[in-house]
Amino acid sequence: MPRVVVKTSSYDYKQLKPNIHSLLEEFVGSAVSPGKVIVIKPNFLAPATPESAILTNPFVVRAVVEYVLEKGAKPVIADSQAVGSFSRILKTGGFATALEGLDVEFREFRRSVLVDIGEPFGKIEMAADALEADVLINLPKLKTHCQMLLTLGVKNLFGCIVGLRKPEWHLRAGVDRDMFARLLVQIYAVVKPSVTILDGILAMQGQGPGRSGKPRELNVLMASDNALALDMAVCRMFGLGPDELPTNRMASKMGLVPEYHIEGQLPQIDDFRLPLMIPLVFGPRRFHKFLRKYVTQRPVVKAALCRSCGECSKYCPAKAITPEKNCVVFDYDKCIRCYCCIEVCPHGALETKDTLAGKAFRKMFKS
Ligand code: SF4
Ligand code: SF4
């Protein structure tokens, strides 16, 4: 039966390092050995400081790297960021400084291999480094996510889809929450990290996963060899039902939900602010285009915050955003309401807004 181990911790390195090392020893102690390649997969969404709680804390990553080095194995820190350059993430996120002097390789996931993750998705291109690692250590950040409620152990592995393939998958699956959840669960089932250690010391609540979310100290580290079990334990910590997280719900439908037990004291946090979930398309398929255009919330720009950096338009899978001199303009006929732009805007300048028809619909159907 999978175990979820819970520890109280701060980022004070004297406390953090032994906590991380004991979690690693429990779950991968015998697998991390001389000559092995250990791929460490943090959350590298976009360039962001540690205080913003968007990325896995650099000292959590350092503690893992030191453990791997002490065991004589080769640590590789790898991810495929959603926005910005990999080198900027290392600098802004404090990774370059925190890991200075350690014999570690930073590697952006670039090389992909075709892997059959099962119906209905079939073969998809995934990061070869993640799949070929002797041991994969998954290091998610505990954050809210306005499409998927929370981004935890399972969702963190979406980064194993390489670079620009991610928005393509958002385009294909991201407008249907259950389909997207299924994609995430199937990716997890194939990638299967050896251990997942969740950084919930400084978590994010509110409208995550980007800058619209708010940091919140929870002082929790959790680890498990089963990321689904870990995600379920987090939901229990917040008083959420087992089916409220879309990936848990989908895993349950697929018969993948594990029995698990918790070791350590799981805190009860009843006032964690969850995001207002962005409604996705609903109703009969033939009405989807109409509903998407007139009923679902639209991405809109807060002009005062927009710095015209162009990240949103680069990432938009539908090419629905045109950068203008001081702002951006949306083509709502093209926009598929995947909300990737909101996720990647580095300045928190985008939000969703109800249409009049959408407000009326939601009132009618209380959605
Ligand atoms: S909305 Fe955000 S990502 Fe898009 S150009 Fe403005 S600041 Fe950049
Ligand atoms: S404008 Fe935003 S929500 Fe619309 S398709 Fe582009 S990225 Fe998705």
Give the class (CATH, top level) of 285-365. alpha beta
pLDDT computed for residue 291 by the predictor:
66
pLDDT computed for residue 366 by the predictor:
44
pLDDT computed for residue 367 by the predictor:
41
Contact 126, 161 (CB under 8 A): yes
Q: Does the Cβ of 303 fall within 6 Å of ligand 1?
A: no
Q: Alpha carbon of 45 to those of 54, 144, 198, 232, 365: distances in Å? A: 7, 13, 15, 23, 34
Which CATH architecture does the domain made up of 3-263 adopt? 3-Layer(aba) Sandwich (3.40)
> Ligand 1 atom closest to Cα of 347?
7
- 3 state SS for 114-164: EEECCCCCCEEEEEHHHHHCCEEEEECEEEEECCCEEECCCHHHHHHECCC
pLDDT computed for residue 310 by the predictor:
92
> Ligand 2 atom closest to Cα of 339?
3
Q: Does the Cβ of 309 fall within 6 Å of ligand 1?
A: yes
Ligand that comes closest to the CA of residue 175: 2
SS3 256: coil
> Ligand 1 atom closest to Cα of 348?
2
What residues does CATH 3.30.70.20 cover in the chain?
Answer: 285-365
What residues does CATH 3.40.50.11440 cover in the chain?
Answer: 3-263
Query: Which of 340, 342, 351 to probe ligand 2 with, by most ligand atoms within 8 A of CB?
Result: 340
200 strand-pairing partners? 220
pLDDT in tens, the chain (367 residues): 999 999 999 999 999 999 999 999 999 999 999 999 999 999 999 899 999 999 999 999 999 999 999 999 999 999 998 778 899 999 999 999 999 999 999 999 999 999 999 887 888 889 999 999 999 999 999 999 988 999 999 999 999 998 656 666 765 555 578 888 999 999 999 999 999 999 999 999 998 888 889 999 999 999 999 999 999 999 999 999 988 999 999 999 999 988 999 999 999 999 999 998 765 554 555 566 666 677 777 889 999 999 999 989 988 888 999 999 889 999 998 888 877 788 788 888 998 887 887 677 656 544 4
Q: Does the Cβ of 137 fall within 6 Å of ligand 1?
A: no
> Ligand 2 atom closest to Cα of 340?
7
Query: Which of 305, 319, 326, 345 to probe ligand 1 with, by most ligand atoms within 8 A of CB?
Result: 345
Q: Alpha carbon of 286 to those of 97, 226, 282, 338, 364: distances in Å? A: 53, 39, 10, 18, 20
